[in-house]
Amino acid sequence: MTVQHDPSVYERIQAGEQFQELRRRYRSWAFPMTIAFLVWYLLYVVLSGFARDFMGTKLFGNINVALVFGVLQFVSTFLIAWAYSRHAAAKLDPIADELRGATESRDEVGEGAK
Amino acid sequence: MSHETLSTILFLVFVALTLAITFWASRNTKSAADFYAGGRSFSGLQNGLAIGGDYMSAASFLGIAGIIALSGYDGFLYSIGFLVAWLVALLLVAELMRNSGKYTMADVLAFRMSPRPVRTAAGVSTIVVSIFYLLAQMVGAGALVGLLLGVHSQAGKVWTIIAVGLLMIIYVVFGGMKGTTWVQIVKAVMLMVGAALITLLVLGKFGFNLSGLLGDAATQSGKGDAFLNAGLKYGTAAQGTWGKIDLISLGLALVLGTAGLPHVLIRFYTVPTARDARKSVLWGIGIIGVFYLLTLVLGFGAAALVGSKTIAAADKAGNTAAPLLAQKVGQDIFGDVGGTVLLAVIAAVAFATILAVVAGLTLASSSSFAHDLYAHVFKRGAATERQEVVVARVAAFVIGAIAIALSIFAQSLNVAFLVSLAFAVAASGNLPAILYSLFWKRFNTAGAVSAIYGGLISAVVLVIFSPVVSGSPTAMRPEMDFHLIPLSNPGIFSIPIGFLCGYLGTILSKEYNASKYAEIEVRSLTGLGAERATGH
């Protein structure tokens, strides 16, 4: 069911420029974004604990900062998820497909696989 | 007809439908990939619904609506952690895990390590986390049925727990991942439709004026504007600074725990490619996000229309807020019959919810037992696929039976804290091991084993000496007092401990395998050599 590749195949791909670019594009997007949304979320939790007067400020009607801040966490989650799917489809998937395609077609002629 | 009878009939319809699905699925469940991963043939949308079905437990449906109805805003705070957590899964875990693993969480951890110690640790952690979660759900089921069906006798609760346990065993033993996934899809659709319907009726009563609804909720709660802000349940003024640190500790465990929960992780294996895993998490985030926004309206709506006093009188924890609200809006809009019907519908949805979640947990723990402990630790990888599936089925039966027995024993104890403990263990032990495995070149066997045991043990020990186990009126053993730590949630300590143990274990061991790291890195990012879907 699964094609077993010679370990050296992976090392060769890993060392290649294309893979390094894929890795850079993935990490340089996912890592800073993870830190950003965690900080944004923790800011919200810390303010909920320690800045209740500020969170209780009414903005309009009975809608206060706490509620708006909470709903913004939903909005940011949806937006980040959407942005990631766009980034992945445009910047990551094509390289991953190419790398996989190149190796798998070699498999068919019996070069890369054992 | 009483709402109890109608609920029972609706619930029996759900049981009949899911059993039919299970027996259909059992005929298509032959190979190990079928049993563990549903043949990897679910679409992104189907798995997204199943993610919702697996994740939106009765604790989050009835529990969060109940916390909001009684303590206001704090319930909303809870749900935000549950949602944001999915970004960790989306950005860092889902696709890479789908590409490099096979059936269980341990497949990724053991990829470049010495398999026996790592699989033992991962198997232990998986089973412990799943059993904690299962116990909380099943004890909750016993109490819930009492409330919703008017069964208040001890024997009635015991029989409910046994019935829930037997059904979950049947789903998993016969249906495997395929059957369990379909049960979760059906449940997710029922839950979303039910919650959306009640939400629309509630909003309609307030002329779609959210501010008006919040104002009435604050007034009816008797707590005024404080009801619309944090601090009535978590980090209250009376608890002082430790209470607020406890709130942050809870928030950390919620946001980091999801991507380390074994029953969540195995969902990524049920789709054909990493891209479908991504799609399924996107669907999952949409479904779960909308659901928690609905529970916000349900919780505040229950406070406004039913009143916090009535809700607290029916159940101290507020678990019947959503059903009572359904009855109230049904009555107001459609008369007595409407109230009865809506209450029955929501009660039936709540049972369906419990069943789907416990089935997912049983599947995760029995898969890990068979694939990690039996096949790789006891048999050292020499078990056949057929043997593995037989063992997995037996394990589902045994784990289910143990869960039933423990739940009956624990039903008079307050075990609600076990859900947040499960998240804390997942965040402290499993998540560091997974992230290091995927991203840290140097990570090795000693690191993986130290991270898992370090996180697991520190979280459990911290909780044993916390006010949720002893020394407070709401503790599991209120009559005893051996608590040493003022925090109910261990995450703020145990998560750094888990990461630190993983780091120290790694650098103190010389083991390092560059070519295996090349393999997992290339596989996880490109999908090269990833497990394929099985065709039927």
Nearest by CB to residue A78, choosing from B244, B248, B285, is: B285
Collapse the DSSP code of B258 into the 3-class scheme (helix H, G, I; strand E, B; otherwise coil) and give the result.
Answer: helix
Asked if the Cβ–Cβ distance from B87 to A56 is below 8 Å, we say: no
Distance from CA of A13 to the nearest CA of B (A): 7
Place of tokens 């159940």: B315
Whether B107 is in a domain gets the answer: yes
> What's the gap in Å between the CA of A18 and the closest CA on chain B?
11
Q: How far apart are CA B508 and CA B514, in angstroms?
A: 17
Backbone φ and ψ for B322, nearest 5 degrees, come out as -65, -50
SS (H, E, C) B40-92: HCCCHHHHHHHHHHHHCCHHHHHHHHHHHHHHCCHHHHHHHHHHHHHHHHHHH
Are the Cβ atoms of A63 and B245 closer than 8 angstroms?
Answer: no
Please list every residue in chain B whose beta carbon sits closer than 8 Å to the beta carbon of residue A92.
Answer: 525
Confirm if A88 and B514 have CB atoms less than 8 A apart.
Answer: no
Look-up of token digits 């998560």: B495
pLDDT in tens, A6-63: 768 899 999 999 999 999 999 999 999 999 999 999 999 999 999 999 999 999 899 9
Test A62 with B211 for CB contact under 8 angstroms. yes
Query: Domain segments of chain A: what residues?
Result: 7-104
Question: Containing domain of residue B118, as a range?
Answer: 3-412
Closest Cα in chain A, distance from residue B156 (Å): 40
Local structure of residue B266 (DSSP, 8 states): G
Q: Which of residues 18-77 of B touch A (CB under 8 A)?
A: 33, 73, 76-77
State residue B444 phi and psi, 5-degree precision: -145, -175
* Interface contact B528-A100, CB threshold 8 A: yes
Which 3 state secondary structure label does DSSP give A63?
A: strand
Q: Is B530 on the interface with A (CB under 8 A)?
A: yes
| pLDDT (tens digit per residue) in B397-412 | 999 999 999 999 888 7
Separation of alpha carbons B264 and B45, rounded Å: 16
Read off the pLDDT of each residue in B328-345 and give the average, rounded to a whole number: 90
Position of tokens 């928030």? B251
Q: Which residues contact B484 (CB under 8 A, 6 or more apart)?
A: B465
The predicted-structure confidence for B358-389, as pLDDT tens digits, reads as follows 999 999 999 999 999 999 998 888 888 889 99
- Tell me if B44 is assigned to some domain: yes
- The answer to whether the Cβ–Cβ distance between A45 and B81 falls below 8 Å is yes
Estimate the crossing angle of helix A65-87 against helix A17-50, to 10 degrees.
Answer: 170
pTM of the model: 0.93
Please judge whether B235 and A44 are an interchain contact, meaning their C-beta atoms are less than 8 angstroms apart: no
Interface confidence (ipTM) of the complex: 0.93
Q: What value does the mean pLDDT of chain B take?
A: 91
Domain-embedded: residue B447 = no
Into how many domains does chain B fold? 1
Tokens (6 digits) for B180: 């369990």
CB contact under 8 Å between B84 and A73, yes or no, is yes
Angle at B468 between CA B501 and CA B69, to 5 degrees: 115
CB contact under 8 A, B215 and A55: no
SS3 state at A59: strand
What's the CA dihedral at B487, B491, B495, B498 to 10 degrees? Answer: 70
What is the domain-level CATH number for residue B43? 1.20.1730.10
Local confidence band at A67 (pLDDT 50, 70, 90 cut-offs) = very high
Euclidean distance between CA atoms B400 and B406, whole angstroms: 10
Residues of B in contact with A49 (CB under 8 A): 230, 234-235, 244-245, 247-248
**What pLDDT is attached to residue A4?**
65
Q: Which of A38, A62, A85 sits opposite B215 (nearest CB)?
A: A62
Rounded CA-CA distance B529/B113 in Å is 18
Which phi and psi (to 5°) does residue B307 adopt?
A: 95, 135
Nearest by CB to A55, which of B229, B514, B531? B229
Cβ–Cβ under 8 Å, residues B298 and B322: yes
Q: What is the pLDDT of residues B170-222, one digit of tens each?
A: 999 999 999 999 999 999 999 999 999 999 999 999 999 999 999 999 999 98
Q: Which residues of B258-277 are buried (b: 16+ CB within 10 A; e: fewer)?
A: bbbbbbbbbbbbbbbbbbbb
User: How does residue B155 score in pLDDT terms, banded at 50, 70 and 90?
Assistant: confident
Phi, psi angle pair for B16, to nearest 5°: -60, -45
Provide, as residue numbers in chain B, all residues whose Cβ is less than 8 Å from the Cβ of A104.
528
**Could you read off the pLDDT of B251-273 as tens digits, one per residue?**
999 999 999 999 999 999 999 99
Q: Is the model's pLDDT at A1 over the cut of 80?
A: no
pLDDT at A2: 55
Closest CB to B83 among A11, A55, A77:
A77
Give dist(CA B142, CA B157) in Å, integer. 5
Inspect the interface and report whether the beta carbons of A23 and B289 lie closer than 8 Å. no
| pLDDT: which is higher, B75 or B234 | B75
Question: Within a domain: residue B354?
Answer: yes
For residue B266, being part of any structural domain is answered with: yes
* Cβ <8 Å between B244 and A50: yes
CA-nearest of B413, B492, B437 to B112 is B437
